[in-house]
Structure 1
Amino acid sequence: MKSYVIDGPQAMSRILALTMIVDGHVSPSEVSAMHNAPFLDQIGVDADTFDLTMQELCEDLLLAVPNRNAGLVEIHPALLDEVLDEIRDPVVQMCMLKAMLDIVYADGIIDSRETVLVRRAAQSWTHVLH
């Protein structure tokens, strides 16, 4: 997986993109929820940055899949932790959690893979607050 600048727009975009695709599909309501997140413009996540980062994420995931024929893409927990560790500012972490929850709830279906991702992000990021 590519490394991005800590707290940079690509690092944030990758996590939001992962939130959208983790359940195996992207719904229009999830895309809308992401684009409506009020803090994205302030941190430099525009449509072009997001689209390019989504493409890079999908390419990285396909390269990492041991069995593409199974139709499943799994991210090893250690790799997911590396991706989440690229967001270190506590304020940005909380804004990202809010955006991730908005994306997850947007289509009205809470998938177990979405739950695992959001829970892992919350566990990873909230330790800073204690």
Structure 2
Amino acid sequence: MRTYPTNSAQAVSRLLALTMIVDGHLAPSELKAMRASGIPEHVSLGEEAFDEVVRELCEDLLASAARRCSAEVEIDSRLLDTLLAEVEDQALRFSVMKTMLEIVHADSVLDARETLLIQRAFKAWSIEGLRAA
């Protein structure tokens, strides 16, 4: 899995993209929720740059997939912690978490994989003041 600079638009984008695809599909309502959150402007994230990060994330996930034949890609907890660690700024973490929650609730279906991702982020970032999904 490639690395991005700490607190960069790419690091934030990858977490948001992961939030959108962790349940196995990207719902248009999830993309709309991310755009409406204001975070793309906050981190100077253009649409083309986001698309590039999504493509890179998918490539990296497929390259590291342990169970390709099952049509599912599992993300190791250590890898997830590494991705979450690329966002260190507390205020940015709070904004990203808020957007992640908006994304998982956007399609009105809360998948177990989405819940696990959110719980892992809460734990890794020690965020207080928000409630887990």
Which bracket does the TM-score occupy, shorter chain normalised?
over 0.9
Q: Which residue of 2 is the match for residue 25 of structure 1?
A: 25
2:110 is the counterpart of 1:110: yes
**2:84–2:124 contact (8 Å) kept in structure 1:** yes
Give the distance between the partners of 1:31 and 1:52, measured in 2 at CA: 15
How much has 1:41 moved relative to structure 2? 0.5
Task: State the shift of 1:38 in Å.
Answer: 1.4
Q: Is the 8 A contact 1:10 1:50 kept in 2?
A: yes
Structure 1 vs Structure 2 CA RMSD: 1.4
- Give me the TM-score of the superposition, normalised by structure 1: 0.95
The 8 Å contact of residues 67 and 74 in structure 2, kept in 1 or not, is answered as no
User: Which ranges of 4 or more aligned residues in structure 1 deviate by more than 2 Å?
Assistant: none
- Identity %, equivalent residues: 43
Q: CA deviation at 1:128?
A: 9.2
SS at match of 1:72: coil
Corresponding letter in the other structure for 2:51:
D
Judge conservation of contact 1:65–1:73 (CA < 8 Å) in 2.
yes
Partner of 1:61: 61
Q: CA deviation at 1:70?
A: 0.5
Count of residues in Structure 1 that have an aligned counterpart in Structure 2: 129
Cross-structure match for 1:121? 121
Give structure 1 stretches of 5+ with no counterpart: none
Letter in 2 for 1:48: E
Q: Which runs of 5+ in 2 are unaligned?
A: none
Q: Distance in 1 between matches of 2:119 and 2:128?
A: 15
